[in-house]
Amino acid sequence: MTINTNDGILFKTDILSEMGVNLHRGSKMKKESRRRKPRIDIFKVLICLILLVMIGFGTKVFMDQQKLSQPVANVGGEVSSTATASAKPNTTSAATTETPTYQPEEGNITINKTEAKIAPSKNVELKVNGTTQQVAWTSSDETVAKVSKDGVVNGVAKGKATITAKVGDKTVSCTVTVQKVKQLALTFDDGPGKYTPEVLDALEKYHAHATFFVVGQNINNTTKAYMQRAVELGCQYGNHSYTHPNFTKLSKTQIKEELDKCDAKVKEAIGVVPTIMRQPGGAVTNSIKQFIDKGQILWSKDTEDWKYRDTERLVKYVLEHAEDGDIILMHDIHPTTTAGVERIVKGLTEQGFELLTIDELSEAKNEPIRLHHLIGCF
Ligand code: NI
């Protein structure tokens, strides 16, 4: 029998069952095949492992290429004959497109999308079918999206615009939503300090947000004002302990005291207690992870700014390595770091990144911050 998994790979179930494999989800399959007594020969085990790798690989490639709109899994059951969705959007560079549903009441003009979502500097082609007449394309807001004489829409900035095609006395319109599809979080540890305002200036200039993991003992009347300004700019605060000790060398009581004291200082400064934290130095054990009742935020890109103290290196590193969903680690206590932040924010913005706080990134990526998990990226 043929089984069709949700990654679009066909398997002959009789071959798999002959090899002693129950078809469950990938990770379980590995465990089950490992648990089995070696009543099957090594050659079959190898074939089986190759198939397992193919499942994993197939899933990744497939999911990367397109969002699977209709999962057709019946894995674990005997047979599923449902077909996988394979429709491709009819544009090559649109970030996301919606199924065309527009039906003109009359005439021969069709915009085959009711709405197109595109990223700035990416194109979406709106086709007009069944006519050889000259079509005049217009955009309601060229600062958001421009349209060429051939109906190719180019996103300029975040927002919505109406694109209209006109032939003779007939017009049809469609809405284009331009969005920034790449998002990441800049995070600054160990402050607040005297160089923090330089970071805030850069964020303010480009309407960007960041998250500051602060050390409680650095919060004083001067730095409190920086924190209040950061909150006004839309930034978020996280707890980075009171004295920056290595948590793995502390008792649970001491860890709690470190976190509580920092919480109190942050609350005193900005009126709210942080819901997220980062362990000093990122030092954490499983038992500490279970003990802390805040979102535990690590990072996906370590700039090592504290080690190199080199502005040029820092800027280059971030602009060359930033990826969608990243949490980037920096320290606003080093002037060599804060001196590069404006170029980083500007460069990332130009690359199409939206710079968000941790909470905003979690929401944008629809990945809630779960307690007792270490979060490195979204
Ligand atoms: Ni630190």
Q: Encode pLDDT of 210-267 as tens digits.
A: 999 999 999 999 999 999 999 999 999 999 999 999 999 999 999 999 999 999 999 9
Tens digits of residue pLDDT in 102-152: 444 445 566 767 788 887 777 888 877 655 567 889 999 999 999 998 888
pLDDT at 57: 44
In percent, the amount of the chain with pLDDT more than 90 equals 54
Tens digits of residue pLDDT in 275-324: 999 999 999 999 999 999 999 999 999 999 999 999 999 999 999 999 99
Residues with C-beta atoms within 5 A of ion ligand 1:
189-190, 280
pLDDT at 169: 77
Catalytic residue among 209, 244, 331, 334: 331
Element (H, E) at 147: strand 145-147
CA pair distance 72, 99, nearest whole angstrom: 19
pLDDT at 47: 57
Count of Cβ atoms closer than 10 Å to residue 35 Cβ: 7
CA pair distance 244, 255, nearest whole angstrom: 10
Say how many Å lie between the CA of residue 8 and the centre of ligand 1. 45
Say how many Å lie between the CA of residue 306 and the centre of ligand 1. 10
Say how many Å lie between the CA of residue 284 and the centre of ligand 1. 13
Whole-model pTM: value is: 0.59
In percent, the amount of the chain with pLDDT more than 70 equals 69
pLDDT of 100 higher than 70: no
Catalytic residue among 189, 305, 326, 332: 189
pLDDT at 132: 55
Say how many Å lie between the CA of residue 355 and the centre of ligand 1. 21
189 is catalytic: yes
Tens digits of residue pLDDT in 52-67: 555 544 333 333 332 2
Say how many Å lie between the CA of residue 231 and the centre of ligand 1. 20
| 66 phi/psi in degrees, rounded to 5 | -155, 150
pLDDT of 34 higher than 60: no
Say how many Å lie between the CA of residue 244 and the centre of ligand 1. 6
The vertex-247 CA angle with 242 and 248, nearest 5°, equals 170
Buried b vs exposed e over 98-129: b needs ≥16 C-beta within 10 Å? eebeeeeeeeebbbbbebbbbbbebbbbbebe
- Residues 6 or more apart from 214 whose CB is under 8 A from it? 190, 191, 192, 227, 237, 238, 239, 240, 262, 265, 266
Which residues sit opposite 354 in a β-bridge?
183
- DSSP 8-state secondary structure symbol assigned to residue 373: S
Q: CB of 378 within 8 A of CB of 298?
A: no
The tokens describing 168, both together, are 């003779």
Tens digits of residue pLDDT in 79-91: 222 222 222 223 3
pLDDT at 68: 27
Say how many Å lie between the CA of residue 350 and the centre of ligand 1. 29
